[in-house]
Copies of this chain bind each other. A is one copy, B any other.
């Protein structure tokens, strides 16, 4: 999506992503990133000539790729909508460590008109997830317009749950919101309070 991606150490990217997810783009200093990576700042600049912006860029591309492989593939795949959705939600719970880890889409989208070329990646990430949820809703029988509405609400529940979990220092809001997503997307086939 974003960059052709040369071969790079996945472990390194994971460490860098962790810093960005915890500190945000501005909050993450090169010292933080170097410490987490176990490298010197100059070494990071050898891997990322574009500096911090490139690190964030690749971290985002990495996350989007993981999303595509572990979440979207289920949402957009074949099979029963509810089963597909459960697979995707289970992997989302893993990705966000049950609400303990923030989302790069939120952490990298702060400033409005300024620099940051992340905007297109962030936008694409939200759109891809929304589309995936919408497909599940349509496959479950929702009309196109209703499916779109439900998908937006589902994405908002996911990210709102993450924001709440981080802000309150409590992962329960995230769990609550995740469990609300099936009802939100598939209300025709599920009744509130049923066996789940």
The docked-state distance in angstroms from the alpha carbon of A73 to that of B53 is 44
A91 at interface by CB-CB < 8 Å: no
Stretch at the interface among A9-17, A42-50, A159-167: A159-167
How distant is the Cα of A152 from the Cα of B156 in the complex, in angstroms?
Answer: 12
Contact A173 B192 (CB under 8 A): no
* Cα-based distance from A187 to B180 in the complex (angstroms): 13
| Chain B, residue nearest A129 (CB) | B164
Q: Is the CB of B157 within 8 A of A157?
A: yes
Collect the chain B residues with CB atoms within 8 Å of residue A152's CB.
161, 164, 173, 176-177
Tell me which residues from 54 to 106 in chain A have a Cβ below 8 Å from any Cβ of chain B.
102, 105-106
The size of the chain A interface, using a CB distance under 8 A, is 44
Taking A24-B27, A149-B180 as known contacts, 9 extra A-B pairs with beta carbons closer than 8 A to each other, sorted by chain A number, are A105-B163, A106-B163, A109-B163, A109-B166, A123-B167, A126-B167, A153-B176, A155-B160, A157-B160
Within 8 Å by CB of A149, from B122, B149, B176, B187, lies: B176
